[in-house]
């Protein structure tokens, strides 16, 4: 799709940013978000702050954080939006504390230590179901249902080594249900290399069920694909909250704070939800009044410790590889 906003760049190479002083009315935004979402929100920001120009560098969260680390002595970016809390915590020393006036609408559990980041949205793990592919099987209501051998080959899961959301889902599944159910479900599943490969596989009728993210599944429901349902397993599901942060030593802190406040604001968060169904963390946005998605207090959530999950990553993935190789 052609960029509708020529003042935005989908990807700016660092050499293009230069090493000289940036303009006082410019913000360099590092973002892992979808370009259409970024374009929409930045267009709204420009209407409020026409005096501030925004340049965008887009890449994955991990790559951008590595870039921020590499630039620590001479930062080229001003603001990062957005990444998982475990990723943000690993790079906290490169992030600048900031107390935004918008932070009061976000629960304390979704704010970084020392106010180094602020939660913006959360992914919710769901089962994405294609009713036409069920055959004689009854629609699953729980994780335990999918451990039944009858589901073998009908479940698709992204590789957790390549998908952070899948890592959260599988780590949470083992933590919640125990090793036996975890292993049975994994043995029933087909593993694909990308997050999109899972939900697209169900939408295209290749599989009956995907372990995926709420927003990814719901886009098909909102688009009118009436064979798709979302299931929130009755034992509980898992959250993958994401946040944004000011880059320590950024050259345009005042303008960056204005963009930060705007991205955290209710209008911007509602726009992101309406366009991409990314569930906001602001307590004053009721997603069930904007869509058919349930309110958060209607979802049973199994809490995970982000620090522990990060520390356990290598050991978990080693066990995962061994399990998959034995199937």
User: Residue 294: helix, strand or coil by DSSP?
Assistant: coil
Best CA proximity match to 65, nearest among 195, 194, 216, 242: 242
Q: Which residues contact 267 (CB under 8 A, 6 or more apart)?
A: 44
What secondary structure, in 3-state letters, does 237-288 show? Answer: ECEEEEEEEEECCCCCHHHHHHHHHHHHCHHHHHHHHHHHCCEECECCCCHH
Say whether 215 counts as a known binding-site residue. Answer: yes
Longest dimension (CA), the chain: 66
Instruction: Tell me the backbone φ, ψ of residue 213, rounded to 5 degrees.
Output: -100, 150
Give the DSSP H or E segment for 29. strand 26-31
Burial of 159 (0-12, 13-18, 19+ CB in 10 A): buried
DSSP codes, 220-232: HHHTT-TTEEEE-
For 322, half-sphere exposure in the C-beta direction (CA atoms, 13 angstrom radius) is 6
119, 159 in Cβ contact below 8 A?
no
215, 287 in Cβ contact below 8 A?
no
255, 52 in Cβ contact below 8 A?
yes
* Other residues' Cβ atoms within 10 Å of the Cβ of residue 139: 13
Best CA proximity match to 6, nearest among 37, 43, 44: 43
What does the DSSP 8-state code read for residue 136?
Answer: T
Q: Residues within the annotated binding site?
A: 215
Q: Residues within the annotated binding site for Fe cation?
A: 215
């Amino acid at each position: 799709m052609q960029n509708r906003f020529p003042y935005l760049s989908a990807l700016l190479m660092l050499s293009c940013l230069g090493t000289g002083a940036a303009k006082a009315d410019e913000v360099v935004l590092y973002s892992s978000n979808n370009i259409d979402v970024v374009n929409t929100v930045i267009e709204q920001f420009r209407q409020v702050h026409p005096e501030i120009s925004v340049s965008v560098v887009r890449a994955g969260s991990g790559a951008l954080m590595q870039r921020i680390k590499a630039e620590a002595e001479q930062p080229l970016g001003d603001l990062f939006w957005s990444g998982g809390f475990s990723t943000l915590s690993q790079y906290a020393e490169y992030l600048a504390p900031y107390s935004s006036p918008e932070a009061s609408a976000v629960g304390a559990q979704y704010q970084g230590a020392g106010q180094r980041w602020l939660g913006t949205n959360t992914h919710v793990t769901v089962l994405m179901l294609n009713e036409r592919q069920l055959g004689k099987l009854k629609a699953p209501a729980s994780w335990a249902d999918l451990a039944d051998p009858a589901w073998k080959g009908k479940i698709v899961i992204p590789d957790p080594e390549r998908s952070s959301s899948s890592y959260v889902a599988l780590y949470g599944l083992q933590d919640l249900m125990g090793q036996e159910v975890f292993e049975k479900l994994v043995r029933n599943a087909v593993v694909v290399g990308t997050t999109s490969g899972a939900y697209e596989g169900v939408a295209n009728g290749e599989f009956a069920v995907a372990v995926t993210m709420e927003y990814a599944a719901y886009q098909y429901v909102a688009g009118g694909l009436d064979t798709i349902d979302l299931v929130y397993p009755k034992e509980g599901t898992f959250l993958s909250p994401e946040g944004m942060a000011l880059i320590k030593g950024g050259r345009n802190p005042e303008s960056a704070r204005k963009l930060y406040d705007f991205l955290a604001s209710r209008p911007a968060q509602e726009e992101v939800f309406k366009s991409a169904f990314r569930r906001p963390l602001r307590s004053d946005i009721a997603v069930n009044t904007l869509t058919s998605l349930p309110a958060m207090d209607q979802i049973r959530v199994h809490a995970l410790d982000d620090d522990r999950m990060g520390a356990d990553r290598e050991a978990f993935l080693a066990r995962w590889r061994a399990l998959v190789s034995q199937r």
